Amino acid sequence: MKKLFIFFIAVICFFAIDVSAAEYTVSSEGELSSALSAQTESDTINLNADIKINKSHAITGNVVINGNGHVLSFDDTYVGTMFTVGGTLEIINLKFNGNNDWYWLTEEARVDPMIYEDETTLFAGDKKISNNVIEVTGTLKISSSQIYNYYIDGAIGDTNCFIKASGADSKVIIDSTTVDTLFGSFITMVGGKVEFNNNSKIINSYGLGNKGAFFKQNGGELVINNGILKDNCGRARSGTLIGAVNNALVTFNSGLIDNNLAKYHGSASTGSMITVESGAGFIMNGGTISNNIGTLASVVSSRWTNNPDDKGIHLNNGVIKNNTTYKDTWLGSSVFLRNNCTVGENMTIDGDVVVNNTNASLENNGTINGKVTLNDSTAKVVNNGNISDLDLLKGECTNNNAINNVYELDTQITNNGVVTGKYVKELSNVEGKIIIRFDLNDGKEKDTGYTVIDNVYDLNYKLLDTDIPIVERDGYTFEGWFSDAEFTKKLDLNTEYSENAVIYAKWLKIPEVVVPDTALNISTIVMTLSIILMFTGSIIMYVTINKKKVEE
């Protein structure tokens, strides 16, 4: 009886599995539609030929489409949505061909940041997509596939994209997939999560978008694990590659962002590779960001935000190097902050950082081989690592480790570490101001450790006693300040300075006192005494022997 019961249970399970899982082989859109119309909880659809799409197909169950290397494209008339995914759709080894061979007419048009796309610089092609290609409220996974030759039209990329993911439950996974020659936006998120994994690439593409060219995040989370964004350019008012707003989060764990260009959007406050604002945040845990060219910042920027709930920018690990900005303004930097940034101790930034908004702050625990500029009275820097140069136009800084140079103007610095020098910018164009440099001549200021001190004064200024630094130099005696490098003109406090000047510290080396080494070590003493005793003993023995002979 028990065996019979087990048999019936097994038969029921077999039929249940058989009913809920179906496999189809299709070679036309009609066959694809038939397979999808009967979709169950777990279907596999194998493509046996290239297929042209003429309508939208809904995914409500759990479907796997194995392209087997075949091509999926629009037919000659349809440019709408291919798939709406409310359930789960996994696409494997499929080629998405947009059938638009758009290209730049000249190499100059491609690489010049001031040249946008238009009919004189870009061949737009005939097949323009004026819709989202795939719309997702459920789960979409694309792996080992290719997406290429798409021209997605819309209001600078805000209207349409290749994938639109909507809702908190939406999820998109791009795995081992290459996006090539895409014009427009790749993924737009309204909540949900996107993963860009396992050597997935966006290359040779041109991005459009108000809040992000290739990845637009209006909420949700983007995670990049060994992803590559390389050799692209874009026109975006915010992030040329990635734009995150409304508490969205971008996490870059590993991979490469290299040789991308931000085309000018008409404002100096634009054109970073990654831009976060309105509570959004960026976390870098590894990888390399290199050789990119931007406007506001070449790597990452936070824009127009003063939200106490901002997720901020956290540069924990990795390398940022060789990135530049093509607009010659004070805004130009690798990292531009209007909220908070933390640099981890294992992080190296080769480039400038600007801190430029009320309550914006930078905590540096790593190495910044560039210039850090504070440009707001409430902006703050706390340095626990190493900074090459610090421009404190406004704001305040606490230095707990090492800064190579500091320039102060209308600001304050608390130095608990080492500052090796002090400098000012070139102020020759500032009317009514002069620079007086104190050249400490290998000495240092006693309280701060500065080796060079530049101070800004009004025209025709007379130095006061309080302006003169107290200096010291190991092994030397200070002999005074002089107005020339040859030390022939003593400093005169009655002098009015009408132009920039340098004042030199003179030092006299303290003579070394040579103390003769008269002390003998133990071995020398023992040897000397031994020689003396042997010599004395020999004499005594000689005298004794001769005396005995004489007596005999």
Tell me the DSSP string of 182-216: EES-SEEEESSEEEEETT-EEES-EEEESS-SSEE
Query: Do residue 497 and residue 545 come from a single domain?
Result: no
**Residue 547 included in any domain:** yes
Helix (H) / strand (E) containing 542: helix 522-551
Number of domains in the chain: 2
**Residue 483 included in any domain:** yes
**Residue 462 included in any domain:** yes
| Alpha-carbon distances, residue 361 vs 279, 282, 344, 349 (angstroms) | 15, 15, 14, 16
Distance of CA 58 to the CA centre of its chain: 40
pLDDT class for 15, splitting at 50, 70, 90? very low
- Distance (Å, rounded) from C-alpha 414 to C-alpha 327? 33
Domain coverage including residue 531 = 523-552
pLDDT of residue 167: 92
**Residue 273 included in any domain:** no
Q: What is the pLDDT of residues 240-269, one digit of tens each?
A: 899 998 889 999 999 999 999 988 776 655
Q: Is the pLDDT of residue 7 over 50?
A: no
pLDDT of residue 306: 56
Query: Do residue 457 and residue 504 come from a single domain?
Result: yes
pLDDT of residue 311: 87
Three-state secondary structure call for residue 121? coil
CA quadruple 101, 106, 112, 114: dihedral, nearest 10: -80
Query: Do residue 474 and residue 530 come from a single domain?
Result: no
On the 0-12 / 13-18 / 19+ scale of CB atoms within 10 A, 284 is: buried
CA quadruple 409, 410, 415, 417: dihedral, nearest 10: -30
**Residue 333 included in any domain:** no
Candidates 413, 483, 402, 473; CA nearest to 444 is 473
**Strand 206-209 to strand 471-472: parallel, antiparallel, or no bridges (unpaired)?**
unpaired
Query: Do residue 498 and residue 552 come from a single domain?
Result: no
Q: What is the pLDDT of residues 314-328, one digit of tens each?
A: 999 999 999 998 765
- Distance (Å, rounded) from C-alpha 402 to C-alpha 386? 5
Q: Is the pLDDT of residue 66 over 70?
A: yes
pLDDT class for 14, splitting at 50, 70, 90? very low
pLDDT of residue 267: 60
How does the average pLDDT of the chain come out, rounded?
86
- Tell me the pTM: 0.79
**Residue 375 included in any domain:** no
Query: Do residue 463 and residue 505 come from a single domain?
Result: yes
**Residue 501 included in any domain:** yes
Residue 403 contacts residue 421 (beta carbons within 8 Å): no
Query: Do residue 503 and residue 448 come from a single domain?
Result: yes
Residue 157 contacts residue 213 (beta carbons within 8 Å): yes
Query: Do residue 481 and residue 505 come from a single domain?
Result: yes
Query: Do residue 539 and residue 494 come from a single domain?
Result: no
Residue 443 carries which DSSP code?
-
Query: Do residue 470 and residue 503 come from a single domain?
Result: yes
Mean pLDDT for 194-201 is: 97
**Residue 221 included in any domain:** no
Query: Do residue 464 and residue 503 come from a single domain?
Result: yes
pLDDT of residue 517: 56
